[in-house]
Amino acid sequence: MRVPLAGLPERVTIYEVGPRDGLQNEKTIVPPDVKAEFVMRLADAGLRTIETTSFVHPKWVPQLADAEEVLAALPRRPGVRHPVLVPNERGLERALRNGVTEIAIFGSATETFARRNLNRTVDESIAMFAPVVERARAEGLWVRAYVSMVCGDPWEGDVPIEQVVSVARRLMDLGCSQLSLGDTIGVGTPGQVTALIEALAAAGIGPDRIAVHFHDTYGQALANTLAALRAGVTTVDASAGGIGGCPYAESATGNLATEDLVWMLHGLGIDTGVDLEALVATSRWMAERLGRPSPSRVVQALSPRAPRAEAPAARESNEEHR
Amino acid sequence: MRVPLAGLPERVTIYEVGPRDGLQNEKTIVPPDVKAEFVMRLADAGLRTIETTSFVHPKWVPQLADAEEVLAALPRRPGVRHPVLVPNERGLERALRNGVTEIAIFGSATETFARRNLNRTVDESIAMFAPVVERARAEGLWVRAYVSMVCGDPWEGDVPIEQVVSVARRLMDLGCSQLSLGDTIGVGTPGQVTALIEALAAAGIGPDRIAVHFHDTYGQALANTLAALRAGVTTVDASAGGIGGCPYAESATGNLATEDLVWMLHGLGIDTGVDLEALVATSRWMAERLGRPSPSRVVQALSPRAPRAEAPAARESNEEHR
């Protein structure tokens, strides 16, 4: 049933991260032709912005060592955007050589994660990004800035909102067009999300330039998304089938599943352009290739192997048949 | 981090359903002393309303055939409420003989589920409940009315809001004190939930008498809870560890996990009285007894066997060390 809720947008842009953020964090390394087919199937299912790969050095992310091959295998189609992650100037060179027109850079709100993920302080990482964004803009590229650990950090604990705003402001000042707020460990709750978006707006980064990137590790991703939509955000990151996020624990979950997001948005009467049935079929196909079940609850619920048997099993009050 | 959100209550009552709705829908039959220990551990973790068992005929729910033994093994403690499910007059007789002071009846918003679960039409089921509630009230018992399939029905599809309101009104008119709205198959979304609560208020059943009972089958339970809290509801049903809901599919999920709910509420600065750590320990203990991992995302995330390894595994942008 589609029932709108006051104060929410009519349309939401889903920024699909499965082929990059998803596959990067899966144990199984998928061949480039399968990756390209995954991206094409996602586009067939109606997704219009698909982060396709990363030009990170293969030493750090062997899962995406085939970025050139994936892009070469991928027929471009009008209306579908294929941003790629670019860590530094060398990555940007590779992206430009391969005809990429949209890139994303990946910063951290905390010093510890900057050090562990970027091998730099926050200041040094922003200094590293500056020439990347400058060159990208000069070449006419669209640039997204991720800021990670916006709600909490596994080493530092709570991350103050002012600290996130400060890093976000500096990243956007480099010339980025969109800011993606990443609750990388999934600990945030709706009040914190709302306060962060309001603080960013007060610092001149309005919700029209903000995307939210939630992880479902603590089950909070959809509730946080609802709060972000209420705060004016209209771009939401999600990963088809919920892939990625935590390669070491099969039961643990990472990225918000695109299907779970679409279920909520369509139920709210919000247009996404996505064909849910085609998307679920794609995620089931990819789960087979990854050799593990999709952590998406919608994919599980709509899977023929998972009978929707709760109702007949309930029998809370069946009186004796006498 | 605790950050409140405008328009939400300061305190929420969690109505714990794990020992009844949870265990009733698990394949494994748990011995009565383990059930009693489960209830006591939940009380130790701060839960103050625990639906403890059911007086349904054992033929229909063999999992709870030991209701008398569980109640006998359970030391009462001040401030902890132990409602039990009562399907009919015979069930009420058993409850009264065992010193129960709070009961719940279980109705259906749809004809098909009434027929399948109660072997009656909706009219016939309300006629069956009338003397149960009348007698219970005369004996001084508190009575809750469940109404199931409030967002959708596996056989009938969408369930019109007016139909739910009509059944709810008739159940409450019998003399019940609280109405629990059950999205039994988990298909609802926040707009539908809000509209339903508003329609009930317009029909004279205000949010102070409403509880919400969401299933996480499609991942919507917490987002729906957030919408219900905004609409004024302050009682939320949940099942410790997320047990129950779908006994035939190990990966599928049923009841909203109490831990996932508590994570959100505490993050919002809402008081629940629950000690999350003690609750997680209880759910891990019960998961061992049930022989399957807890479907709760919080229980998984806080489990020592599921390393929170996303952050260090990400390395989105680690440049070569040259």
| Residue A29 pLDDT grade (very low, low, confident, very high; cuts 50, 70, 90) | very high
In a domain, B189, yes or no: yes
List CB contacts (< 8 A) between B249 and chain A. 300, 305-307, 309
Catalytic-role residue among B14, B212, B246, B261: B246
**Residue for token digits 């409940």?**
B129
**How many domains does chain B divide into?**
1
Q: What is the CATH number of the domain that holds A31?
A: 3.20.20.70
Residue A234 CB coordination number (10 Å): 18
Check residue A192 and give its pLDDT.
98
pLDDT score for B316:
55
Taking 50 as the pLDDT cut, the residues of chain B under it are 247-252, 306-314, 318-322
Chain A environment of B183 (Cβ under 8 Å): none
**CA atoms within 13 A of residue B5's CA, in its CB half-sphere:** 27
3-state per-residue secondary structure call for chain B = CCCCCCCCCCECEEEECHHHHHHHCCCCCCCHHHHHHHHHHHHHCCCCEECCEECCCCCCCHHHCCHHHHHHCCCCCCCCECCEECCCHHHHHHHHHCCCCEEEEEEECCHHHHHHHHCCCHHHHHHHHHHHHHHHHHCCCEEEEEEECCCEECCCEECCHHHHHHHHHHHHHCCCCEEEEEECCCCCCHHHHHHHHHHHHHCCCCHHHEEEEEECCCCCHHHHHHHHHHCCCCEEEEEHHHCCCCCCCCCCCCECEHHHHHHHHHHCCCECCCCHHHHHHHHHHHHHHHCCCCCCHHHHHCCCCCCCCHHHHHCCCCCCCC
**Would the CB atoms of B185 and A149 count as touching at under 8 Å?**
no
With the C-alpha atoms ordered A175, A178, A183, A184, is the resulting torsion angle positive or negative?
negative
Set of chain B residues whose Cβ sits within 8 Å of the Cβ of A185? 308, 310-311
> Rounded CA gap, B153 and B171, in Å?
19
Domain-embedded: residue A322: no
ipTM for the assembly? 0.93
Binned at pLDDT 50, 70 and 90, residue A247 comes out as very low
Residue in A closest to B87 by C-alpha = A317
Which residues of chain B neighbour A28 with C-beta distances below 8 Å?
none
- Is B105 inside a domain boundary? yes
Q: Answer whether residue A296 shows pLDDT above 50.
A: yes
Strand duo B102-108 + B142-148: pairing:
parallel
pLDDT digits (tens, 9 = 90+) for A50-79: 999 999 999 999 999 999 999 999 998 999
The C-alpha atoms of residue B74 and residue B72 are separated, in whole angstroms, by 5
This prediction has a pTM of 0.94
Binning pLDDT at 50, 70 and 90, where does residue A316 land? low
Query: Has residue A286 been placed in a domain?
Result: yes
Contact between residue B23 and residue B35 where contact means Cβ atoms under 8 Å apart: yes
| Distance, CA of A61 to CA of A223 (rounded, Å) | 31
Is the pLDDT reported for residue A322 higher than 90? no
Q: Which of B159, B3, B97 is nearest to A151 (CA)?
A: B3
User: Each residue of A94-135: pLDDT tens digit?
Assistant: 999 999 999 999 999 999 999 999 999 999 999 999 999 999
More confident residue, A317 or A276: A276
Domain that residue A150 falls in: 13-302
Residues in contact with B7: Cβ distance below 8 Å, sequence separation at least 6, in sequence order: B230
pLDDT score at B254:
86
Nearest to B311 among A61, A88, A185 (CB): A185
Q: In A, residues 259-298, which contact B (CB 8 Å cutoff)? A: 260, 263-264, 266-269, 293, 296-298
Q: What does the mean pLDDT of chain A come to?
A: 92
What's the pLDDT score for residue B297? 93
Q: Is residue B6 part of a domain?
A: no
**Cβ contact, residue pair B116, A311, below 8 Å:** yes
Per-residue model confidence (pLDDT) at position A321 = 34
Q: Catalytic residue at B151?
A: no
Residue of chain A nearest B2, judged by CA positions? A192
Q: Which pLDDT belongs to residue B277?
A: 98
Residue A62: inside a domain: yes
- List the one residue out of A112, A114, A71, A116 whose CA is nearest residue A95: A71
Which residues in chain B (106-165) have CB-CB distances under 8 A to chain A?
106, 113, 116-119, 128, 146, 148-149, 151-154, 158-159
- Cβ contacts below 8 Å, chain A against chain B, sum to 306
The answer to whether residue A29 neighbours chain B at the CB level (below 8 Å) is no
User: Which pLDDT value is given to residue A254?
Assistant: 86
For residue B73, the distance in angstroms to the closest alpha carbon of chain A comes to 23
Residues of B in contact with A111 (CB under 8 A): none
Tell me how close the Cα of A69 comes to any Cα of chain B, in angstroms. Answer: 19
A47 Cα to chain B: minimum distance (Å): 20
Residue A284 lies in a domain: yes
Nearest CA in chain A to B298: A218
Asked if the structure places residue B310 within a domain, the reply is no
Select the residue of B185, B215, B318 nearest A60 (Cβ to Cβ).
B318
pLDDT over 50 (residue A314): no
